[in-house]
A and B are shown apart, each in its own frame.
Chain A
């Protein structure tokens, strides 16, 4: 640890100099100023679109992948590839995945969407598979005993047991995608991140502050949205689904 401290120049003096810099930086951020309202609005909306599209597609894709990965219901030939996909999707931070997609499909929102779909599959797929592995097999056995087809066993024996948790994972992922969608722009994958990055590079710190504040507002709005989605599904669930 001491060696690392020495090597990284992590000293008290360095910290105090840093604080000085920080104070100047904050000074220049105040008051926040919306220098380019157009690019701010465009960036925010694009981030929102990236988050919503990536969440929808990621959720839809992770349903079957998570199901195939559940070892208590599926044979090894199905769980192995599904688990490999989930593990691969979880291996890299979304920013790294975003860089790969920027190289693959070019700059812009498409790369951001692809990156966050991958992140969503990794997260929801894994948790969904784990939720299925914890269900009561007695209920599944009873549905099987009625002669139900495989799909019907899933619909009546499995889904009711995991539906509530799945909604929880999905809304959490929507929230997380919203945050990540503001960041993939830094590597050119679309969204407000690009605007933020260029403002940093131009030393427009007052505009940076305005962008940061609007991101906070968007995340809060997303939180409200997620709570609302949870409410809708779990309320409905009491009657016929969950």
Chain B
């Protein structure tokens, strides 16, 4: 993979929450500048930590994270914020600001570009507001702009969460178990929205998930993790029962 088509390049990433206990054990992986990659693996295997190390919500212990032509692992302060605003993030529990309106939540995706006094007065550029309305339409919430976020259902909240992340005009979209709190039908809709928005806006998407079937259905590439290491990296077709046994261990859970 050459540098131009690589959005994110992780080199030897190690994370220890407790000294000596490696949650991520030297992850080295590249993500292309387009397409949806699914990271699957059992709970507690470091999927979420991997994603959070990328936008530095979690501090990596060692390793490099090349994004946008530089290593962002050692960045601090303003430089870190400037890197973060190019990385959108979708959360398992949506993490909307509950008491703000849907529109304000979308506009909060532009906070990395908005000075504090304008943000306080809600003076966002017209361009951002227009874009927010367009995105709300795209995720099917066109008439919800002035609703408070805490009045929405789970699926609606996650749509707002995705729209907020896309508002950043990110060069990379991370999604940490975006469907784990949702019912199966809504999960499929949410995955569809993320794939479609990623394609339309040319944003590569990395999704953590534990639903293997959903991953197979939407991902262009599957990364299997186990014990803080990558144990599978390839197309969805390659996820045979043997591979799944390597990822999740045991076989009794695999339906005959």
Which residues of the partner chain A approach B168 to less than 8 Å between Cβ atoms? Answer: 146-147
From B99, B101, B116, contact of A155 by CB (8 A): B116
Q: Decide if A204 is an interface residue (CB 8 Å cutoff).
A: no
Report the bound CA distance from A136 to B93 in whole Å.
12
Q: Given A139-B98, A242-B99, verify A147-B93 contact (CB < 8 Å).
A: no
CB <8 Å contact, A148 and B82? no
Interface size on A, residues (CB 8 A): 27
| Alpha-carbon gap, A58 to B185, bound state (A) | 53
B205 touches A (CB below 8 Å): no
| Contact, CB under 8 Å: A148 / B112 | yes
Contact A156/B119 with A146-B112, A240-B101 known, Cβ cut-off 8 Å = yes
Q: How far is the CA of A146 from the CA of B164 in the complex (A)?
A: 9
Contact B100 A160 (CB under 8 A): yes
Among the listed stretches B103-111, B215-223, B238-246, which one makes contact with chain A, having 4 or more residues with CB under 8 Å of it?
A: B103-111
A232 at the B interface (CB under 8 A): no
Residues of A94-143 whose CB lies within 8 A of B: 136, 138-139, 141-143
Closest to B120 in A: A155
Bound form: Cα–Cα A149–B79 in Å: 11
The answer to whether B84 touches A156, judged by C-beta atoms less than 8 angstroms apart, is no
Q: A145-B57, A146-B168 are in contact. Are A240 and B104 (CB under 8 A)?
A: yes
From A145, A147, A149, A160, B97 is in contact (CB under 8 Å) with: A160
Provide the residues of chain A in CB contact with B85, threshold 8 Å: 146-148
Pair A142/B111 contact, Cβ less than 8 Å? no
B186 within 8 A of A: no
Distance, CA A148 to CA B85, complexed state (A): 7
User: Per-position contact with A for B164-204: 1 when CB-CB < 8 Å, else 0?
Assistant: 10001000000000000000000000000000000000000
Given contacts A152-B111, A155-B120, contact A145 B84 (CB under 8 A): yes
A142 and B122 form a contact (CB under 8 A): no
Decide yes or no: A146 and B111 within 8 Å by CB, A240-B101, A240-B104 being known contacts: yes
Expressed in whole angstroms, the minimum distance between the Cβ of A127 and any Cβ of chain B is: 18
How far, in whole Å, are A240 and B85 apart by their CA atoms in the complex? Answer: 24
User: Looking at chain A's contact residues, is the secondary structure mostly helix, strand, loop, or mixed?
Assistant: helix
Residue A161 lies at the interface, judged by CB distance under 8 Å to chain B? yes
Identify B116's interface contact among A139, A149, A161, A238, CB under 8 A: A149
- B12-68 residues with Cβ-Cβ distance < 8 A to A are 55, 57
B131 lies within 8 A of chain A by Cβ: no
Docked-complex contact A144 and B119, CB < 8 angstroms: no
Most chain B beta carbons < 10 A, residue from A142, A152, A156, A237: A142
Minimal beta-carbon separation of A181 from chain B (angstroms): 32
Is there contact, CB below 8 Å, between A139 and B111? no
The residue on A at minimum CB distance from B118 is A152
Residues of B within 8 A of A239 (CB): 146
Enumerate chain A residues within 8 angstroms of B110, measured Cβ to Cβ.
146
Would you call A157 an interface residue if the criterion is a C-beta within 8 Å of the partner chain's C-beta atoms? yes
A138 CA to B161 CA, complexed, in Å: 12
Contact yes or no, A240 B83, CB < 8 A: no
A141 touching B95, Cβ below 8 Å: yes
Q: Kindly state whether residue B96 has any CB partner on chain A within 8 Å.
A: yes
The reply on A151 being an interface residue by CB < 8 A is yes
Q: Knowing A138-B93, A146-B168, A147-B111 touch, does A152 contact B116 (C-beta < 8 A)?
A: yes
Report whether B96 and A142 are in contact in the complex, using a CB–CB cutoff of 8 Å.
yes
Q: In the complex, what residues of A have CB within 8 A of residue B97's CB?
A: 139, 142-143, 156-157, 160-161
Which residues of B are interface residues toward A (Cβ below 8 A)? 55, 57, 81-89, 91, 93, 95-101, 104, 108-112, 114, 116, 119-120, 122, 146, 148, 161, 164, 168
